[in-house]
A and B are shown apart, each in its own frame.
Chain A
Amino acid sequence: MTRTLLVTGAGGVGKTTIAAACGVVAARAGLRTLVVTVDPARRLASALGIASLADEPLPHEEEPGLWAAMLDSSASWRAVAMRHADPDVAGRLASNEFFRAASEHFPASQSYAAADQAVTYVQARAWDLVIVDTPPSGGGIDFFSAPAQMADLVGGRLLRWLTGGPLPGRRFFYNRAARPVLRIADSILGSDLLERVSEFLLDLRTTYDGVARRGREIEGVLRDSSILVVTTTDPAPVSEAVRFYRELPGLASTPTAVIFNRALPDRWVAFEDHDSLSPQIQHIVESWSAETLRQRDVREEFSARYGAKVATIPWSSKPLTKLDGLAGLIEVSEGIPWEEILPTDAAG
């Protein structure tokens, strides 16, 4: 059976690198592993063997057992909705300006498309482990709430709000003079905007059954996945990590562990023996010592408050251009609960 590992967190904390590093380690432990990522940094993409824009999983040339795929970041649920639409509805949707706008700008759009694609790989049963580097949009939590948001958009709640009543047919709009909502909207937005949007939503609604069924499949896979939350000790990503611990148990499952990236070693805390050092070096030492102490406080508070398993990856500035560098990152990490992530026969 295929296990799924979701690597999530705010943007810019090293999530993609860590997802890739986990992939190398799993492949070297003998698992057929697919790493799915969105828009990795160029150096990382080439280390992962996905320098080209392939959204098909390709085997890595130098690493047996490792596959990589990069999701097209401009992919949207447009394709998903079209898949579930009748031919004539699909034709109307394809030429509708709101459909295009909504599929590009709907907040959870990119996340939904990514979740849908990732689940397709999980269901293919071609890998032992599928690692998904979740897109950072909406702080990353969008990835988990996207199926429900998508069903909401398609399901007619918006349509009811838009027209202020029970689900209307197209005839609703002939009665314009009698509906103050329509008259007010007309005066502000021009005469037919509301009507054009409603027609689009009526068409979209015909795809509801298919979209909702797929949404439940996606949610099922997310619930059975292991989740690693990646953060640094900076305030913004930490508050995102807190959100994952608060909200994921309701949306998917409780995170398996939180990984603090760019960690400084505990032996740097309160380093005082610097009489022999020059004033500038003394200042540097005091600065990093204070930073190490702050980091440790943040990690300890997080662990105590959310009952989280805490792992660390040391701060290094070495650019990770090689697979060995990625694997080395995991070698120097501490506290990642592999036994909960990898299929049992391969753990350790």
Chain B
Amino acid sequence: MSTNILEKRLVIVSGKGGVGKSAVAAGMALLAQRHGLRVLAVEMASPGGVATHLSSGPLDFEPRELRPGLHAMRMVRSEALLEYLALQLKLPGMGRFGAVARAFDALATAAPAVREIITIGKVLWEVREDRWDMVVADAPPTGQIGSYVRAPISIAELVPTGRIRGQSAWMGETLGDPATTELLLVTLPEELPTTETVETMSWLAKEQLVPAPRIIANRVLPPIKEKASPPGVPGEMVQLHRSLWKEQQTWLEKLPADLQIPFLFGLFTPGEVAARMSDELEALT
């Protein structure tokens, strides 16, 4: 199996909230675009997360070309549903589906697998399109990612017959195919993100729904090689840096990362952060 991430059709980026997941997703899309791939970036969670990092205004459901070869869209469940109904029922006049769409929306609240299959399903339909070489999903956080990757199976359990059940089989296969799908879990070398990522990984290993994820540790401090500490303010800085570094190392030992992204000190615009991410992600090609 190739480990070159650029050969994958679908890259799902998840992680605990606040670890820099959207920045990594934006960086991944930039990396693929720089290598000449036709990319679709999908903002599934945190509206604006991908958009700000790609220096764009708010995204729409309809993909928009942000730079040559790089399109981006925002997942909107109601629109994904309308599109699905229009395609499946092959009926003209979307307006007539208003009542159906609302009914499905209500259903999606009471039967969660329906809610998740609509959005992850839309992403998977796009993966099937010849239009894109790679789809990058800025996915929901690790707390919810399980119910998304499990949605095809949950639907098959919930719905005994019907069209959506028939489609759940190929959706599950696409998610589970290591030649197609890559899952990146972004984390920080701190207690809570490490614990949550370890829990997510053991759940994923048990369920075998997606290929084994790669771990990206964000905001990793460099070691200070010198032993001595200067006096005054520089000494305070060195002391804090050393103790934070030591703390980070204990978490990196518990959860070894496939890639470490350095801590960015000082002021960076979201666009600069994404550009740095894309440089660092080059290591996964």
Q: How far is the CA of A317 from the CA of B241 in the complex (A)?
A: 9
A275 shortest CB reach to chain B, Å: 11
A201 to chain B, nearest CB (A): 6
Assess whether B261 is interfacial by the CB under 8 Å rule.
no
Residues on A facing B (Cβ under 8 Å): 10-13, 41, 43, 97-98, 101-102, 104-106, 136-137, 139, 153, 157-159, 161-164, 180-181, 184-191, 193-194, 197, 200-201, 234-237, 265, 267-268, 271, 274, 276-278, 280-281, 284-285, 287-291, 293-294, 297, 315-319
Q: Are B161 and A185 in contact (CB under 8 A)?
A: no
**Interface members, chain B 16-63 (any A CB < 8 Å):** 16-20, 22, 46
User: With A12-B16, A12-B17, A291-B266 as given contacts, are A189 and B237 in contact (CB-CB < 8 Å)?
Assistant: no
Q: Given known contacts A137-B143, A288-B240, is B110 in contact with A190 (CB within 8 Å)?
A: no
Interface residue range, chain B: 35 or more
Residues on B with beta carbons closer than 8 Å to the beta carbon of A180: 100
Give the interface SS of chain A, mostly helix, strand, loop or mixed.
Answer: helix
Segment of B3-11, B171-179, B207-215, B224-232 engaged in the interface with chain A: B224-232
Contact in complex: B161, A190 (CB < 8 Å): yes
Contacts of B102 in A (CB 8 A): 161-162, 164
Q: Are A193's CB and B111's CB within 8 A? A: yes
Q: Which of B17, B104, B241 contacts A185 (CB 8 A)?
A: B104
How many angstroms between the C-alpha atoms of A319 and B191 in the bound complex? 10
Q: How many A-B Cβ pairs are below 8 Å?
A: 167
Tell me the smallest distance from the CB of B275 to a CB of chain A, in Å. Answer: 15
B248 to nearest A CB, angstroms? 9
Asked, given contacts A159-B106, A181-B103, whether A190 binds B192 with beta carbons under 8 Å apart, the answer is no
Indicate whether B202 reaches chain A with its CB closer than 8 angstroms: no
CA distance A184 to B112 in the complex (A): 19
Could you say which residues of chain A place their CB within 8 Å of the CB of B159? Answer: 189-190, 193
Alpha-carbon gap, A187 to B266, bound state (A): 56
Is B85 interfacial (CB-CB < 8 Å)? Answer: yes
Chain A residues whose C-beta falls within 8 Å of the C-beta of B246 in the assembled complex: 317
A-B contact pairs, 5 of them (CB 8 A): A41-B191, A101-B111, A181-B103, A185-B103, A271-B237
B232 → chain A closest CB, angstroms:
8
What is the bound-complex CA distance between A232 and B12, given in angstroms? 27
Whether, in the assembled complex, B1 has its beta carbon less than 8 Å from a beta carbon of chain A, the answer is no
